[in-house]
A and B are shown apart, each in its own frame.
Chain A
Amino acid sequence: MTIFEKMMAIDRRWVFLLLAVVVVGTYAISFQIPIRINSEVRTIYEFVDKLKPGEIVYLGIDYDPSNQAELHPMAYAVMEHCFRKNLRIIFCTLSQYGPGMVDAAIKDITDSLKLDKTYNGIDYKGRELVNGIDYVFLGYKPYYALQILAMGQNFRLPFPIDYYGQPLDSRPMMQGVVNYKQVAVVIDLSGGNITDAWISYGQGRFNFPLALGTTGVMAADYYPYLNSGQVLGLMGGLLGAAQYEKLADNPGPAVDGMRIQVFAHLVIIAFIVLGNIGYFTAKRRRAKEGK
């Protein structure tokens, strides 16, 4: 076997190993890389940024821990941005492993909000988030499509009480909040079919502004909805999260993770190039020998 034929048929374990080395290496060595912003993330950021204090954002944490690496940074960036702007959030999860994650995330963000921070040149005073006034967490219910439809009637149908056992009617911020009509924007973060349900059963039926956060793999799938105007913005994977963090001037795990992603891409490209060099040289040699 010539070296070129070998280049064509590298055992997948070598590919795995090199990728692992690069991922771990770039993870361990901390350095900054610049991030480009694209318009589909900017529209979400600007939409949220222009909302007035007191307006309500529905944040759907509709993913499993398996997608946490990509989607959790998005959730944190959006939450921090909303709460700093004094917006209110309705949290809900339609994924069975979601509740624990949401609960933990709310605790984290409550701690973070206590600190004074400066984002994009604006000073924000630290404050105490209050359950029921700044946010409610509806909890989890199975059969996501049914719940999306039911919430279009009234949040109290699927969730008469919230995750913490309080009746929704007793929550101050839910006074007069019946369904999506009282919500300024629905931001759904999901790693699977729940996204489709939000588009067809949610936005399609109730016509609210919908912004999506998806895994990187899924993102390309939702460009048609972006162009048709059914979705106002789209955050795809870690990159989308990094862009939101960058826009909100709040670099976190996504911005931090981008260097890993960029170098992992370079490794994949290198293997593709290697495979092609091998392929062409082997082909040429065969053609010569054939003559």
Chain B
Amino acid sequence: MKRQIPLVLVLIFGLFMVIQYFIPHESSEWIYEYLLDWITIIGVFALVLGIWSLFKVNYDKISQRKPDRGYSLVLLISLFATMFFGFFAKVDGSWGLHFSTADGLQSYMYRHAYEYIIRPIQSTIFSLLAFFIASAAYRAFRARNVLASLLLAAALIVMLRFNPYLGPLGDYISEAANWLLNVPNLAAKRAIVIGIGLGMVATALKVILGIERSYMGKG
């Protein structure tokens, strides 16, 4: 019974969502939007669960004096500090609750945490990608066999396509690169995407029919 109720729910809502796609009438849209609201609501509750889990794991690490607990401490302090400045702000010289108000969003601490901590950190981590691409390319692009040589040649052409120092050769390279992107690249990509699309529909069907149950925690 405990297993069957979720399966029945999945069947009903799954079939409804499939059929809803073909019915533009407002009654079908109304149910659809109602269900979407529920996703938002469940998401909010899950977020509370998530934050609790984050707190508990890190709190346990600190209280049980596990190695690397310093990181957990930094995490918890940051978590609560951000939360605090999200809720409270100093407006007109006095502290008060300004959750999600214009004053709250403009408050000194909130804005500065965003401008001078979150923004630079995020940009830095993303920028690391450039370095990682360089080292990964250096290791991967070796002309070990015919296929790898083709890959190497294609990579060089695409990387050089906007290089302005190649003179007339640049036009040919640019054209070759466009052909590579628009023909072989696209062909392969479409094939993969079509396969993925069918796989998705098949998996969705299996979920709806209750054959695939991994989302219920049972592999």
Contacts and interface: CB of A to CB of B under 8 A. Distances in A.
Chains A and B in contact, CB within 8 Å: yes
Interface residues of A, number: 51
A29 interface: no
Contacts of B40: 142-143, 146
Interface string A134-165: 00000000110010011001000000000011
Nearest to A222: B189
Nearest to A101: B119
A281 interface: no
Contacts of A269: 156, 159-160
Interface string A177-215: 000000000000000000000000000000000000000
Interface stretch (A83-91, A106-114, A123-131, A271-279): A271-279
B130 A149 contact: no
Contact of B182 (A33, A65, A66, A223): A223
Contact of A265 (B33, B118, B141, B163): B163
Interface in A5-37: 10, 12, 15-16, 19-20, 23, 33-36
B180 to A, nearest CB: 10
B123 A271 contact: no
B143 A267 contact: no
Across the A-B interface, the 4 shortest Cβ-Cβ residue pairs = A66-B122, A66-B126, A65-B119, A12-B135
25 contacts: A19-B130, A34-B164, A35-B164, A65-B119, A65-B120, A65-B122, A69-B123, A69-B127, A149-B36, A150-B33, A220-B189, A223-B186, A239-B162, A262-B162, A265-B160, A265-B163, A266-B163, A268-B134, A268-B138, A268-B159, A272-B138, A272-B141, A274-B138, A275-B141, A276-B141
